[in-house]
Amino acid sequence: MKKIAFIGAGSLVFTKNLVRDLLTFPAFEACTIALMDISEERLAYAKTAVDNIIAAGGYKAKVEATTDREQALTGADGVVCTILVGDLEVWRTDIEIPKAYGVDINIGDTRGPSGIFRFLRTIPVMLELCRDIERYCPDAIFLNYSNPMAMLIRAMQSESKVQVTGLCHSVQGTAAMLAGWIGAPMEEITYRCAGINHQAFYLDYKWKGKDAYPLIREAVMKRPEIYNEEQVRNEMFLHLDYYVTESSGHNSEYNAWFRKRPDLIEKYCTHGTGWNPGHYAEIINYAEKLRGGWHKQMEEWRDSPIDLKRGEEYASYIFNATIGDGTLFEFNGNVRNMGYIDNLPQGCCVEVPVLASKGRLSPIHVGALPDHLAILVNTSARCEELAVQGALTGDPRMIYHAICFDPLTSAVLSLAEIQEMVDRMFAANQGWLPQFNHLT
């Protein structure tokens, strides 16, 4: 009987969907699902939701719910992590302090000043989790969904022996979106995608083996409803010739082209129709809306109709390949760059094709990104490298330098203004950053 541990199981939507997917594989229909969360209340919602799935599917799976991480991990064959470190109040400062200096952020969970401070809060907990996995289930496959993905994976893979990769649904999600735009069945689409998390590009995208980029370009240029669905990403595509994986809201933060002036924010980041088109602090605003009706929302998610059809998230397929029946599965995962992308920094975190097989995750060599894409991606990857080194050594100067070269921040602020902003962000995070205790 296999055991899968869910750390941060109170992230109810993720937990419900991933458990549902997992149980559709015969290798796991009688597995043990170990749910762990620091919140007993959230944990109770998660257990009820999983119990409902098991009952609806007639599965023989067993559910354990605990606030004890050791108990959840002991003997696990697979681990899924969906944690968020820090409360809403400190999370707000990630976005509101930069805004006070003119750096307008949409989501702030990946890179830039907001993503870096979220990383600084999260990595001590993640490294503790890795040490526990090494102690209680050293052979487990560890799949991380927590952001900021690239910096977390980079640090965990350099500081632990755990077999870990990071997963994001933007690659398969965007591939399906593009197929819909050109009227192609997804099963007829093939692609090769690489870069870094949220800033990977489809190096080729084919329909029945033929280049589909001309069809995508025609759809974007001639159909206003398609252009308006993803204004930022579509502008990037029209000018850079390759399509990026993550949404317009996210990508509006990762470069200097869209959010450095109010008129650009109005033009590109305000009137889009897709998910998170680019409004300021969209994720914080969403969290604020949920806070007042948190229990009601959790009850709705817990008790929503159960669809037992397997979804498109990678996790269950990876577990089936590595600890299930061994069916090979290729996916885009986050790993350290040990020569997989030729013109990105050695050792940084990249998002590349990975082959999952019995007990193994094997990244695949991609080669070089197109030169102009490498300039953009290198900037982000090198800033992330500085942030990781600063976090691991407790060096605030490295954190400052990582933020200095962030494209959006550097397009808006002077060096002295960035220093002042970073100092304020360190002050706001006092108590969350044990690796920087020597600063107080």
Residue pair 7/68 in contact by the 8 Å Cβ criterion: no
Lowest mean pLDDT among 92-101, 209-218, 269-278, 407-416: 269-278
Res 440: pLDDT: 53
Confidence at residue 362, expressed as pLDDT on a 0 to 100 scale: 98
Non-local CB neighbours of 238 within 8 Å, separated by 6+ positions: 217, 220, 221
The 8-class DSSP code of residue 9 comes to T
Q: Is the pLDDT of residue 437 over 80?
A: no
**Known binder of ligand: residue 372?**
no
Verify that 103 and 177 share a domain, yes or no. no
Q: Which of 102-106, 194-198, 289-293, 348-352 has the lowest mean pLDDT?
A: 289-293
Enter the tokens of residue 86. 């820090």
Question: What is the distance between the alpha carbons of residues 379 and 363, in angstroms, rounded to a whole number?
Answer: 23
Relative to beta strand 78-81, strand 3-7 is: parallel
Tabulate helix, strand, coil % of the chain (nearest 5): 50, 15, 30
Residue 36 within any structural domain of the chain: yes
Looking at the predicted structure, is the pLDDT value of residue 165 above 90? yes
205 and 149 part of one domain: no
Determine phi and psi for 161, rounding to 5 degrees: -100, 5
Do residues 302 and 229 share a domain? no
pLDDT at 438 over 80: no
Residue pair 338/158 in contact (Cβ under 8 Å)? The answer is no
CA 11, 15, 21 angle in degrees (round to 5)? Answer: 155
Tally of CB atoms within 10 A around 414: 10
Query: What pLDDT, on the 0 to 100 scale, is given for residue 290?
Result: 74
What is the tens place of the pLDDT at every residue in 221-236?
999 999 999 999 999 9
pLDDT surpasses 60 at 120? yes
Residue 288 lies in a domain: no
- Do both 202 and 336 map to the same domain? yes
Q: Is residue 285 part of a domain?
A: no
CA separation for the pair 96, 324 (Å, rounded): 45
| Nearest to 196, CA basis, from 147, 237, 124, 128 | 147
Dist. CA 118–CA 91, nearest whole Å:
7
Q: What is the pLDDT of residue 272?
A: 93
* Within a domain: 435: yes
Residue 439 pLDDT > 70: no
> What pLDDT score was predicted for residue 305?
85
- What span, in angstroms and rounded, lies between the C-alpha atoms of 398 and 34? 38
Residues paired with 334 in a beta bridge: 166, 351
3-class DSSP assignment, residue 4? strand
Largest CA distance in the chain: 62
The answer to whether residues 136 and 195 belong to one domain is: no
Residue 198 among known ligand-binding residues: yes
Same domain (yes/no): 12, 148? yes
Q: Do 131 and 203 share a structural domain?
A: no
- CA-to-CA distance for 202 and 32, rounded, in angstroms? 37
Residues of the domain holding 41:
3-168+293-307
Does 168 show up as a binding residue in the annotation? yes
Assess if residue 65 is contained within a domain.
yes
Whether 380 and 111 have beta carbons less than 8 Å apart is answered as: yes
Check: CB of residue 356 under 8 Å from CB of residue 322: yes
Query: Is residue 284 predicted with pLDDT exceeding 90?
Result: no
Phi and psi dihedrals of 306, rounded to 5? -95, 115
In a domain, 399, yes or no: yes
CATH number at residue 302: 3.90.1820.10
Q: Which residues are catalytic?
A: 169
For position 306, what pLDDT does the model report? 87
Tell whether 286 is covered by a domain. Answer: no
Residue 387: what pLDDT?
A: 98
Q: Average of pLDDT values for 192-206?
A: 98
Examine the domain organization and report whether 261 and 335 are in the same domain. Answer: yes
Shared-domain flag, residues 141 and 60? yes
Tokens, residue 89: 């109040």
Please say whether the beta carbons of 65 and 119 come within 8 A. no
By the 10 Å C-beta count (0-12 exposed, 13-18 middle, 19+ buried), 177 is classed as: middle
275 with 342, same domain? yes
Q: How many domains does the chain have?
A: 2
User: Coil, helix or strand for 74?
Assistant: coil
**How far is the C-alpha of 325 from the C-alpha of 93, rounded, in Å?**
46
- DSSP for 395-416, please give it: -HHHHHHHHHT-HHHHHH--HH
pLDDT at 315 over 80: yes
Same domain, 195 and 336: yes
| 389 CB-side CA count, 13 A | 13
The full DSSP string for 152-191 is HHHHHHHH---EEEE--THHHHHHHHHHHHHT--GGGEEE
- Does residue 259 sit within a domain? yes
Same domain flag for 52 and 115 = yes
